[in-house]
Amino acid sequence: MATKKRSTNTTPAAKGIIENAGVIIEQEITSTLETNYMPYAMSVIMSRAIPEIDGFKPSHRKLLFTMYKMGLLNGAKVKSANIAGQTMWLNPHGDQAIYETMVRMTTGNEALLHPYVESKGSFGKAYSRDMQPAAARYTEAKLAQIAVELFGDIDKDAVDMADNYDGTMKEPVLLPVTFPSILVNNNTGIAVGMASSICSFNLSELCETTIAYIYDEGHDLLSTMPAPDFPGGGQILYNREAMEQIYKTGRGSVRVRSRYEYDKAANCIDITKIPPSTTVEAIIEKVIDMIKNGRIKEIADIRDEIGLNGLKITIDLKRGIDPVKLMQKLYKFTPLEDSFSCNFNILIAGQPRVMGVRDILEEWLGFRVECIRRRTYFTLNKKKDKLHLLKGLEKILLDIDKAVRIVRETDEEAEVVPNLMIGFGIDEIQAEYVAEIKLRHLNREYILKRTQEIESLIADIEAMESLISSNAKIKRVIVDELKDIIKKYGQPRKTLLIHAAEEEEYNEVEEIPDYPVNLFFTKEGYFKKITPQSLRMSGEHKLKDGDEITQSLEASNAHDLLFFTDKCQVYKAKAYDFEDTKASVMGDYVPAKLGMEEGESIIKLVVTKEYNGYVTVFFENGKAAKIELSQYATKTNRKKLVNALSDKSKVTDLYYIENDCEFLLRSSGGHLLLVHSGAISPKTTKNTQGVQVMTLRKNQKLALVKLYQEGELEFPHRYRKKNIPSAGSFPTQEELGEQMSLI
């Protein structure tokens, strides 16, 4: 009996082994980033997170265009699930993601100043974290009336159309918006390595400002549009300098306060408007935490009373409490006052750009001019085509009987058009049009009525050609459109303006426990506030790699902290602004906590309470300035002082002294000089250049300054000079020994 031989396949796959498994292939990190990471990053920036000049991200644009194609501009509301499903023809994401995009644009959610979607049903609230929208199958929506301004020219070739993801449909690259929608509704997004945060402005103010800008590019924008206008209302603490910075650079922050009413009969405060960057739940949680920690003792109860009338947080007060002082305290320590960070990052021609308001208006104006030129050109061609046909029809008017005879006597249908062309001297398009006229219309009355349009068409064509060739005329059209938008959709400002300088800020010095603390500041900018008891129980300090403690000070919880920076600015804080911590934590990163400028570094921390003594500043050019510390005291609680030091030369070092003392200076050339601060006259001007204390040779600088302790130098008299400025003396070989390691 014959037996079959079993197959003996010994390939790696047959044995269940993956070829090259476990083999490490070396690849340059730059190559990996370029081929794998960069395409992903650019996709997120361009296709998801950053809005374009029409004010929309792709997800918004696809959704709104789908609703437009569904006839929801004038039709009745339809189920949101239907809208989400239809949008998937353009946006290949899950219906839940599409629905979440729509929710934010609805009237019910109250996230936008001018919502584009009119809604019915529960869509949650932007000011509440816990109020979630109902499922898409329960809610209904249609386009709001203002959406007319998004699609008015969409069918007139005003913007480019592109294929959708599978090439079965066309969608607009941008929407031909008739107003600067990029600045009308707030828009935020986080991409890879960059973000965008655009605040909203009042529609009427924005349109008026745009009109003024069209007539005068140097127009003062703040005169017609003083500040943003947030959908939730509230109060902006108005600072013109900060606002000018935002308008100019597109970066900065706006301080927004809640609005409240005091009910004397019920002894309670009703919060009715909150900042856009927080929620009702976040506010209540923070207040409850402060009550538990004993920092707030004036409140009997706090509760969420959101209802049909909108947002409401009720705070019941204890007997005898001043509501104004309590609100000042809450503004300082809770999100009832918060900052909206502005970062006007917009995609322009596929490139992200951070722009000020004037630049944005310029870009939008250029975009809108092109839209009007394109729609006019589209209509112009239509009218030219119609005029061409009517001129052919006009020739028929000369002899209708001839036209009928030509048609009747032509043997073959295919020869009708050529015979009409020969008989009347018209082209093929005109002949086709004449040949298609119904028999009932071959009468003089019909033809006369149609040919009467010729004169009006000629006038329209001349006007359109004149419009296309003149930017000034196009801008007049834009002005007329903006004026019409103000009439149709303008609404009063929701956010009130109060001047920050006039608002009294809560001062908690007397009410905050004043206890001893130890303060530590590091070279990298980290700060720790530790109580003596906690310090005794702590081990080694936790520091960032390469970091070290440069200042260790004893103070109290009520002391003022002055952070002097290398950009000639002083940032002021209170010790109690920082939480008590332990040595085992890294501490607070001061530049981030105090909102310092990018690249700004802290030179020295000065701690004071009475603002006695002096700040002695030494500059690299050999000059020194002794400034009275009282010059940095302010009546209002200003957080930042500009021009706090001279910017004529870089600061070598800075010391706070209460009494005159001696400093040891070393030049980059190695010379030493002992200078007594008593020889430097005190100044009352913060940005004084001071006086020359050390003369330096060419290309040399003052490299190091330290407080001199008696005994550190073996022959100190060699470095004490009768008069300043002085070049000092070069140390002897004996003095270049161990003691010189001190400097």
Instruction: Output the CA–CA distances (angstroms, integers) from residue 270 to 304, 411, 593, in the order listed.
Output: 10, 90, 30
Task: Look up tokens 């947030």; give the residue.
Answer: 230
- Active site annotation includes 138: yes
Phi, psi of 189 (to 5 degrees): -170, 150
Strands 140-143 and 117-120: antiparallel
Q: Residue 145 gets which letter from DSSP?
A: G
What's the distance, CA 56 to chain centroid? 14
CATH match of 507-609 with 2.120.10.90? yes
Phi, psi of 515 (to 5 degrees): -130, 160
Average of per-residue pLDDT values in the chain: 88
What stretch of H or E contains 360?
helix 357-397
* CA pseudo-torsion sign 589, 561, 676, 659: negative
pLDDT of residue 152: 87
- pLDDT of 673 strictly over 60: yes
d(CA 151, CA 65): 8
Residue 104's pLDDT band, with cuts at 50, 70 and 90, is very high
- pLDDT of 3 strictly over 50: no
Q: Which residues of 579-594 are buried (b: 16+ CB within 10 A; e: fewer)?
A: eebbbeebbbebbeeb
d(CA 117, CA 273): 23
Query: CA gyration radius for the chain?
Result: 37
Count other C-beta atoms under 10 Å from residue 294's C-beta: 8
Going by C-alpha positions, the residue among 213, 207, 149 that lies closest to residue 178 is 149
What's the distance, CA 724 to chain centroid? 52
pLDDT digits (tens, 9 = 90+) for 289-308: 988 887 888 899 999 999 88
Active-site residue, from 40, 138, 165, 515: 138
CA angle 249, 250, 256 (to 5 degrees): 120
Cis peptide before 725 (omega within 30 of 0): yes
pLDDT digits (tens, 9 = 90+) for 166-209: 889 999 999 999 999 999 998 887 766 678 899 999 999 999 99
pLDDT digits (tens, 9 = 90+) for 703-740: 999 999 888 888 888 889 888 899 988 887 766 654 45
Phi-psi region of 382 (alpha: psi -120 to 50; beta: other; left: phi over 0): alpha
pLDDT digits (tens, 9 = 90+) for 566-617: 999 999 998 888 888 999 898 999 999 898 988 899 999 999 988 999 999 9
- pLDDT of 2 strictly over 80: no
pLDDT: which is higher, 24 or 222: 222
pLDDT of residue 409: 86
Going by C-alpha positions, the residue among 377, 371, 360 that lies closest to residue 481 is 371
d(CA 488, CA 483): 9
Alpha helices (H) in 188-274, listed in sequence order = 203-215, 221-224, 240-249
Q: Are 686 and 644 in contact (CB under 8 A)?
A: yes
CATH match of 371-488 with 1.20.1250.20? no
For residue 130, what are its two tokens? 């816990």
d(CA 270, CA 311): 10
pLDDT digits (tens, 9 = 90+) for 402-418: 888 888 888 888 888 99
Find all residues with CB under 8 Å of 59, minimum gap 6, and list them.
48, 91, 93, 97, 98, 101
pLDDT digits (tens, 9 = 90+) for 449-491: 877 888 889 999 999 999 999 999 999 999 999 999 999 999 9
Phi, psi of 595 (to 5 degrees): 65, 45
Going by C-alpha positions, the residue among 54, 39, 41 that lies closest to residue 173 is 54
Going by C-alpha positions, the residue among 448, 442, 421, 446 that lies closest to residue 432 is 421
Count other C-beta atoms under 10 Å from residue 2's C-beta: 4
Q: Are 315 and 261 in contact (CB under 8 A)?
A: no
Q: How many residues does the chain have?
A: 743
* CA pseudo-torsion sign 396, 397, 402, 404: positive
Query: Helix, strand, or coil here: 406?
Result: helix
Instruction: Output the CA–CA distances (angstroms, integers) from residue 419 to 369, 406, 425, in the order listed.
Output: 46, 7, 10
Going by C-alpha positions, the residue among 414, 394, 395, 417 that lies closest to residue 406 is 417
Task: Look up tokens 């332990």; give the residue.
Answer: 582
pLDDT (mean) for 114-123: 95
d(CA 423, CA 441): 20
259-335 folds as: Gyrase A; domain 2 (3.30.1360)
pLDDT of residue 89: 92
DSSP assignments along 156-197, one per residue: GT-S-EEE-TTSSSEEESS---SS-GGGTS-EEEE-SS-EEE
- What superfamily in CATH does domain 42-177 come from? Topoisomerase II, domain 5 (3.90.199.10)
pLDDT (mean) for 313-322: 90
Q: Which amino acid does the sequence have at 550?
A: T
Phi, psi of 45 (to 5 degrees): -65, -45
d(CA 355, CA 188): 15
Please give the span between the terminal C-alpha atoms of the chain, in angstroms, as a whole number: 102
pLDDT digits (tens, 9 = 90+) for 7-20: 455 555 555 566 66
- Where do the domains of the chain lie? 42-177, 259-335, 371-488, 507-609, 614-623+653-743
d(CA 61, CA 301): 45
CA angle 672, 678, 683 (to 5 degrees): 110
For residue 329, what are its two tokens? 């305290």
pLDDT of residue 14: 52
What stretch of H or E contains 31?
helix 29-32
Q: What is the number of helices (H) and of strands (E) in the chain?
A: 20, 33
Find all residues with CB under 8 Å of 184, minimum gap 6, and list them.
55, 113, 114, 200, 201, 203, 206
Instruction: Output the CA–CA distances (angstroms, integers) from residue 137 to 62, 64, 86, 121, in the order listed.
Output: 20, 19, 14, 10
pLDDT of residue 5: 46
Predicted structure pTM score: 0.65
Q: Are 653 and 610 in contact (CB under 8 A)?
A: no
Count other C-beta atoms under 10 Å from residue 391's C-beta: 15
For residue 392, what are its two tokens? 């052919």
d(CA 208, CA 224): 7
Q: Which amino acid does the sequence have at 668?
A: S
pLDDT (mean) for 541-557: 91
**Most confidently predicted of 80-89, 315-324, 705-714:** 80-89
Q: Are 271 and 259 in contact (CB under 8 A)?
A: yes
Q: Are 664 and 712 in contact (CB under 8 A)?
A: yes
